[in-house]
């Protein structure tokens, strides 16, 4: 792909002069990215050369020098990868295909530089005499681990092979992501007859109509696929044939033998990761990855997972028996299948607890949930306030900017919410930064939340499902981790913690979703103004362990697939992806046909395109800390400012500036225990 030379007048050339250093999106065009990437890489290599020329290593000239390096590259990378995830195009895909291996090679040129690593090793060896404060000492240790984990200690032939592997993996990861999005879009279900949508709300039907019209299918309805197995609409669609069609389409993503098939790509990635691990002396990729995680070893992960697997699938089978009885009571003479589960689970939930979560959407109108729920809880807990800034130009017209203030009116940062699905946005929900908070460069945070809520027709309210409600609070927990960061160095800002710890703050934030003071502030019927009754909320809480057998088993299956793919040995080949999947799940005793894995391998973007390789277990590992923390909040009075201040001071504000386990002990006064998690998921007798 040809590119023009970098111009010093380009948007990325200097730090933004806009408020909060918000990138100048009104000026940025697609043509600016590649020149900025190449200029940024060249500039950082010059900065590294300058570090090497400074004489004897000091913390200031080496570690702080590295922290200050690469600012141009960082600016363009943060903007580009946010844009390519949330609003991609063929042109951006081409840029990513070209730049991914170049970025991998650039990173290796720095982290595999033996002279630079020698300076870091010398400083680490001399650390006791350097009189560093705790944050500086941890930053030095992080840099040593970063370089060691990257392979700086390897022999020259090993480093040369590693560079080739890293470049190949970067290309394959971009390919997997691109093919998954394309196949997800192609697998959307076209509905010809309105009668087939029986059971859906007016708003859901209007959303399907709007999606069809956006693709030129004016006389149809369109059900777009989501990134995980199944679909939210399966809870309410009465047409069993359509439910089956949706479920079967959802598990075909990336596995149809067409131009978007991911099987060859993912097998190649697994083999390359195994080979890379062998260079480091690790048995497999999982062992290599877990050296840098709280779990430390695959054996510890398996130990925890096996405590959960057997009771989870036993619960799921008991739930399945209840659903089979509901099918019989409904006059059905068929065996429970995966496309029936959500529909009949709602029937059983309603009969048992008098709760129909599918009917709650009119009480969860997006604008009210956001301002009177998500923002309200953050105000009560941390003293934050939010003011929308429609005057600020973001990367997409649907991405909205909110200025965030502290209790005394001081500026905290910017929050950008991009809530709606579109064909140009990858599936799922996530948080990322456009600017990392740090004192070294004097920057306040700019953080984004991306969701994939179906967009209703113009003028209609956005009524969200119970699942999307949970996701909204969850992702905002990540945003708070970024917004409340209070650290000196960019390397340890915000969510820069171990992968199996990063989900913990976001999971904690879910607790406020149904906290009485919060839910009573936002859950009003969008038409009548009727308040969601406390009795319904209580029944929702009572049903919290309902269907947890399904949820836990489905999640566990995916976590096991992740580990299985990343415990293959160097040189091991996988000929049949489907057979490999089935064997891995069966080996854990998790095979139960009505409960499909949350992600099949061919669309498991978390592990093949999202940085979670050998780390998907981290959601439930983090949930141990989350459940323990939720109990602490409840035991001490819940939504109290003093509790929020303690959580913020000891944990959220520290980013990755301290060992995560030490942070948790400082916050909780002890290590986390697993019993609250088992209790939450109904796995304790």
Residue 233 banded pLDDT, cuts 50, 70, 90: very high
pLDDT at 427: 86
Rounded to an integer, the average pLDDT of 239-262 is 97
Residue 497 banded pLDDT, cuts 50, 70, 90: very high
Q: Are 462 and 440 in contact (CB under 8 A)?
A: no
Q: Which of 518, 538, 555 lies at the terminal end of a domain, its last residue?
A: 518
Q: Are 364 and 466 in contact (CB under 8 A)?
A: yes
User: Up-side HSE of residue 390: CA atoms within 13 Å toward CB?
Assistant: 0
pLDDT at 2 over 60: no
Q: How far apart are CA 565 and CA 296, in angstroms?
A: 18
Kindly list the distances between the CA atom of residue 423 and the CA atoms of 188, 215, 428, 453, 685, in Å, as whole numbers in the listed order: 11, 10, 13, 12, 45
Task: Please check whether residue 384 lies inside any domain of the structure.
Answer: yes
pLDDT at 358: 82
Rounded to an integer, the average pLDDT of 69-76 is 98
Q: How far apart are CA 103 and CA 92, in angstroms?
A: 15
pLDDT at 684: 77
**Residue 308 carries which DSSP code?**
H
**Residue 457 carries which DSSP code?**
P
Q: Which of 470, 488, 518 lies at the terminal end of a domain, its last residue?
A: 518
Residues 400 and 485 in one domain: yes
Residues 147 and 229 in one domain: no
Residue 683 banded pLDDT, cuts 50, 70, 90: confident
What is the sign of the dihedral through the CA atoms of 566, 572, 578 and 584? negative
Residues 138 and 209 in one domain: no
Residue 5 banded pLDDT, cuts 50, 70, 90: confident
pLDDT at 8: 86
pLDDT tens track for 82-91: 999 999 999 9
3-state secondary structure of 460: coil
pLDDT tens track for 12-40: 999 999 999 999 999 999 999 999 999 99
Residue 610 banded pLDDT, cuts 50, 70, 90: confident
Share of the chain above pLDDT 70, in %: 99
Rounded to an integer, the average pLDDT of 312-325 is 97
Count of CB atoms situated within 10 Å of the CB of 549: 24
Count of CB atoms situated within 10 Å of the CB of 574: 17
pLDDT tens track for 663-678: 999 999 999 999 999 8
pLDDT at 685: 63
**Residue 25 carries which DSSP code?**
T
Domain count, the chain: 3
Task: Please check whether residue 569 lies inside any domain of the structure.
Answer: no
Residues 52 and 126 in one domain: yes
Residues 87 and 192 in one domain: no
Task: Please check whether residue 576 lies inside any domain of the structure.
Answer: no
Residues 106 and 192 in one domain: no
pLDDT tens track for 32-63: 999 999 999 999 999 999 999 999 999 999 99
Taking each helix axis from N to C end, the angle separating 577-587 and 548-565, rounded to the nearest 10 degrees, works out to 120
Rounded to an integer, the average pLDDT of 318-332 is 97
Residues 56 and 134 in one domain: yes
pLDDT at 1: 53
Task: Please check whether residue 343 lies inside any domain of the structure.
Answer: no
Beta bridge pairs of residue 404: 386, 413
Residues 83 and 130 in one domain: yes
Residues 301-331 as b/e (b if ≥16 CB within 10 A, e otherwise) read bbebbeebbebbbebbeebbebbbebbeeee
Residues 397 and 512 in one domain: yes
Share of the chain above pLDDT 90, in %: 95
Task: Please check whether residue 620 lies inside any domain of the structure.
Answer: no
Residues 50 and 120 in one domain: yes
Task: Please check whether residue 327 lies inside any domain of the structure.
Answer: no
Residues 53 and 147 in one domain: yes
**Distance of alpha carbon 519 from the chain centroid:** 25
Q: Which of 518, 537, 552 lies at the terminal end of a domain, its last residue?
A: 518
Closest CA to 136 of 123, 151, 149, 147: 123
User: Up-side HSE of residue 363: CA atoms within 13 Å toward CB?
Assistant: 21
Q: Which domain holds residue 223?
A: 187-250
Task: Please check whether residue 448 lies inside any domain of the structure.
Answer: yes
561 Cβ neighbours under 8 A, 6+ residues apart? 581, 584, 585, 597, 599, 600, 601, 604
As a whole number of angstroms, the longest Cα–Cα distance in the chain is 83
3-state secondary structure of 108: helix
The CATH number for 510's domain is 3.40.390.10
The CATH number for 127's domain is 1.20.1050.40
DSSP one-letter string for 564-624: HHTTPPTT---S-HHHHHHHHHHHTT---TTS--SS-GGG-HHHHTSS-TTTTTHHHHHHH
Residues 394 and 481 in one domain: yes
Query: Can you count the helices (H) and strands (E) in the chain?
Result: 27, 7
**Catalytic residue, candidates 204, 475, 510, 581:** 475
Catalytic annotation on 388? no
Q: Are 451 and 232 in contact (CB under 8 A)?
A: no
Can you read off the two tokens belonging to residue 358? 């599918």
Task: Please check whether residue 347 lies inside any domain of the structure.
Answer: no
């Amino acid at each position: 792909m040809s590119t023009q030379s970098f111009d010093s007048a380009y948007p990325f050339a200097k730090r933004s002069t806009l408020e909060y250093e918000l990138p100048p999106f009104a000026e940025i065009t697609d043509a600016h990215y590649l020149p900025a990437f190449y200029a940024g890489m060249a500039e950082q290599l010059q900065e590294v050369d300058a570090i090497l020329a400074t004489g004897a290593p000091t913390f200031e000239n080496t570690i702080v020098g590295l922290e200050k390096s690469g600012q141009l590259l960082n600016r363009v990378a943060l903007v580009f990868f946010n844009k390519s995830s949330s609003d991609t195009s063929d042109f951006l895909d081409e840029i990513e295909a070209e730049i991914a291996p170049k970025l991998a090679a650039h990173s290796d040129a720095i982290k595999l530089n033996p002279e630079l690593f020698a300076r870091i090793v010398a400083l680490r060896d001399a650390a006791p005499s350097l009189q560093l404060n705790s944050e500086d000492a941890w930053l030095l240790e992080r840099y040593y681990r970063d370089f060691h984990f990257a392979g700086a200690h390897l022999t020259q032939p090993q480093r040369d092979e590693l560079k080739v592997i890293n470049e190949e993996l970067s290309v394959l990861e971009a390919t997997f992501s691109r093919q998954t999005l394309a196949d997800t879009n192609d697998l959307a279900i076209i509905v010809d007859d309105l009668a087939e949508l029986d059971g859906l709300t007016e708003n859901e039907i209007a959303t399907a109509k709007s999606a069809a019209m956006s693709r030129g299918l004016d006389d149809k309805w369109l059900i777009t696929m989501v990134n995980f197995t199944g679909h939210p609409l399966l809870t309410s669609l009465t047409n069993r044939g359509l439910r089956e069609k949706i479920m079967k389409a959802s598990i075909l993503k990336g596995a149809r033998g067409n131009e978007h098939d991911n099987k060859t790509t993912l097998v190649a990635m697994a083999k390359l990761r195994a080979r890379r691990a062998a260079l480091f002396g690790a048995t497999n990729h999982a062992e290599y990855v877990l050296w840098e995680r709280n779990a430390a070893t695959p054996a510890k992960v398996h130990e925890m997972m096996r405590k959960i697997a057997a009771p989870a699938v036993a619960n799921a089978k008991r739930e399945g028996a209840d659903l089979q009885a509901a099918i019989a009571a409904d006059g059905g003479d068929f065996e429970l299948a995966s496309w029936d589960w959500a529909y009949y689970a709602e029937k059983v939930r309603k009969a048992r607890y008098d709760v129909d979560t599918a009917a709650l959407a009119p009480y969860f109108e997006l604008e009210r949930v956001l301002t009177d729920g998500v923002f309200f809880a953050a105000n009560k807990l941390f003293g934050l306030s939010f003011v929308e800034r429609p005057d600020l130009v973001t990367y997409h017209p649907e991405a909205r900017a909110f200025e965030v203030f502290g209790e005394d009116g001081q500026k905290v940062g910017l929050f950008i919410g991009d809530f709606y699905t579109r064909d140009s946005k990858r599936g799922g929900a996530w948080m990322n930064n456009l600017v990392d908070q740090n004192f070294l460069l004097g920057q306040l945070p700019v953080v984004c939340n991306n969701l994939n809520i179906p967009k209703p027709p113009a003028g209609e309210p956005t009524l969200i499902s119970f699942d999307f409600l949970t996701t909204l609070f969850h992702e905002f927990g990540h945003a708070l981790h970024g917004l409340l960061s209070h650290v000196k160095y960019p390397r340890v800002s915000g969510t820069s913690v171990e992968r199996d710890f990063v989900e913990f703050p976001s999971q904690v934030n879910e607790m406020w979703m149904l906290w009485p003071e919060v839910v009573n502030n936002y859950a009003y019927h969008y038409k009548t103004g009727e308040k969601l009754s406390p009795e319904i909320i209580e029944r929702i809480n009572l049903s919290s362990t309902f269907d947890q057998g399904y949820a836990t088993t489905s999640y566990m299956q995916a976590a096991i697939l992740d580990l299985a793919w990343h415990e293959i040995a160097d040189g091991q080949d996988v000929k049949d992806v489907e057979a490999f999947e089935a064997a891995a799940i069966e080996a854990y005793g998790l095979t139960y046909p009505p409960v499909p894995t949350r992600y099949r391998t061919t669309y498991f973007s978390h592990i093949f395109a999202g940085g979670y390789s050998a780390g998907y277990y981290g959601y439930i590992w983090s949930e141990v800390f989350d459940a323990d923390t939720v109990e602490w909040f409840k035991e001490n009075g819940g939504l109290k400012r003093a509790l929020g201040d303690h959580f913020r001071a000891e944990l959220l504000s520290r980013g990755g500036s301290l060992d995560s386990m030490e942070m948790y002990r400082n916050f909780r006064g002890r290590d986390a225990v697993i019993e609250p998690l088992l209790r939450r998921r109904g796995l304790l007798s």
